[in-house]
Chains A and B, each alone.
Chain A
Amino acid sequence: MDGMSLLTITVLAVFVGFEVVSKVSSTLHTPLMSGANAIHGIILVGAIIVAGQAADPWVLAVALLAVVLATANLVGGFVVTDRMLEMFRGRQRPASKVDAVEPAEERRP
């Protein structure tokens, strides 16, 4: 892909990035940060490409180290975010009505 298209995509991605998190409440700052953290673990794709093209054993070793680190970032990031968000069950809405998804057992008697 040529440089101009990449630049266009980058600039548009900046605006999307600004837009998607502009109005998030402080309650969700931590999970959001953790989720974004997981997403940049996608560097794994780059690490796989480099490792897959390595001919020299040293290059392969360093590339495999990158694969391990990137996988830890990607997998660990999504799992830990899910862990945090598990805790948000049962307090779905500020509304006082008991909704169908989460039965009354989640609420206080």
Chain B
Amino acid sequence: MTLLNPTWTALLYLAAAACFILALKGLNSPRTARRGNLIGALGALLAVVTVFVSVKLDNIPWILGAIAVGSGVAAPVARRVQMTQMPQLVALFNGVGGGAAALVALLELSHSDDPWVRLAIVFTLLVGAVSFAGSGVTFAKLQGLMTTRPVTFPGLPALMALVLLAAVGAGVVVMLNGSLVLALTLLVLGLAAGILLVLPVGGADVPIVISLLNAFTGLAVAASGLVLGNVLLVVAGTLVGASGTILTRAMAAAMGRSVAGIMFGAFKGGSTAGSTAVSERPVRSSSAEDVAVLLGYAQRVIIVPGYGLAVAQGQHTAAELALALEARGIDVDFAIHPVAGRMPGHMNVLLAEANVPYESLKEMSDINSDFRTADVALVVGANDVVNPAAKTTSGSPIYGMPILEVADARQVVFLKRSMRPGFAGIENELLYEPQTTLLFGDAKDSLTKVLGAVKAL
């Protein structure tokens, strides 16, 4: 088979790189986002076809088989995943990408005699392994395979420092003599560093860590591009590394956190207050009919959706309830906290699925002053994002995170499964306030009952 000449190859890679830039640009606006994503996929397809026709490859049947296995596993999973489990899936895909970059670098070691290329190999190995192991831990945290609370132990910072020091040492030796054994050691050290990096991060901050590890994988891919002398990998990896960094900072800012604070807060200690213990203090719980009366005779209702709504798949019922209330002449809005659910934008996606119009979804900064004039704030399966501890308790893991000011509403109704605290593992004082009413149960069941009772009013 004749191979494509280098000029054409470079042009096709350039086109693929342009597709990636257009993809990220398109993802900036809801109107162009889907098209942007398709353009990105097209660029990827173009690049993969290009590599097959431009490089002399052996083992092609094996490679095609491996691609078939990879897509055969990933595509159905991605297609069928529950919207609530989306974040951990993104973490998983990110992790395997980092792992792939590390493996590529490992195999290239025997082909390289330039110390600078070996430096790029060392970087890819280490960062790829950190991303792989770190994403694995975030996946376990989000999937509920391990505790979502920060995991720390005495000596963690010292251990981390030791691992990093050893990694630098091994890296220098690999760079100088290309030792395969030390490269494997480096891989193991990278995995350890990834685990140690993510363990102390509290549940509520996990989305930001996913974004950070995403940027890491981008950098690993860029470095592997330097190793292979492949411009497309350099451009695509750098793009993701840079945009991922900005995105991580934007997400952290939306939560009122600093990235350094999230990554190192637990190392410093003292920021892990909180308890999963269920308190025995009395609360006011009530029936669906009572809640329906509260809602049905209000003038302004603000619904605050959270992860519980997503888990219960109650978004359609919530949308119906909003419709039923509006039919009674009540002003209804949805207040969307930037990190409600498990990831920024999670709630918007769910409620858009239930055809709640864009105009009813209010961002936190726009609606926070409206709670003062609201008769009822209906909190459906949210907890941490309305927890006043974020403002008042300086030792709390969520201290400093902006919250929705539901406490300003005349009445607050919580639809909750139980008194168990939210993702961050801290109690919510608001549950014990006199203006608060609780309705226990699965969010969808409760909403259905309330909806029925509102219609019967």
Contacts and interface: CB of A to CB of B under 8 A. Distances in A.
Interface of A: 1, 3, 6, 9-10, 13-18, 20-55, 59-60, 62-94, 96, 106-108
A5 B21 CA distance: 19
Given A31-B33, A36-B218, A64 B66 contact: yes
Given A42-B236, A81-B37, A52 B93 contact: no
Interface in B273-314: none
B455 interface: no
B243 A18 contact: yes
A6 B116 CA distance: 13
Contact of B345 (A31, A41, A54, A65): A31
B101 interface: yes
B59 A79 contact: no
B192 interface: no
B181 interface: no
B244 interface: yes
Given A33-B210, A72-B70, 9 more contacts: A39-B236, A39-B239, A41-B97, A46-B100, A51-B66, A60-B59, A64-B66, A66-B103, A72-B73
Contact of B28 (A23, A26, A59, A74): A23
Q: How large is the interface on B (under 10, 10 to 19, 20 to 34, 35 or more residues)?
A: 35 or more
Nearest to A59: B107
Contact of A46 (B36, B224, B349): B224
Given A26-B345, A50-B108, A82-B38, A69 B96 contact: yes
B99 interface: yes
Contact of A14 (B52, B107, B116, B242): B242
A10 B104 contact: no
Interface in B48-65: 48, 50-52, 55-60, 62-63, 65
A76 B93 CA distance: 7
Contacts of A60: 59, 62
B28 A24 contact: yes
Contacts of B230: 45-46, 49
A74 B233 CA distance: 13
Contacts of A85: 33-34, 37
28 contacts: A9-B235, A17-B240, A17-B246, A26-B254, A28-B33, A29-B250, A29-B344, A30-B345, A34-B86, A35-B27, A36-B240, A37-B93, A37-B94, A39-B236, A40-B97, A40-B218, A42-B20, A48-B51, A50-B228, A52-B60, A64-B63, A68-B69, A75-B74, A76-B77, A82-B41, A87-B350, A90-B352, A108-B323
A40 B83 CA distance: 22
Contacts of B243: 17-18, 20-21, 32, 36
A69 B70 contact: yes
A45 B44 CA distance: 9
B97 A37 contact: yes
| Residue in B48, B207, B243 with the greatest tally of chain A CB atoms within 10 Å | B243
Interface stretch (B161-169, B264-272, B355-363): B355-363
Nearest to A29: B344
Contact of A45 (B62, B70, B232): B232
B104 A47 contact: yes
Contacts of B174: none
A79 B79 contact: yes
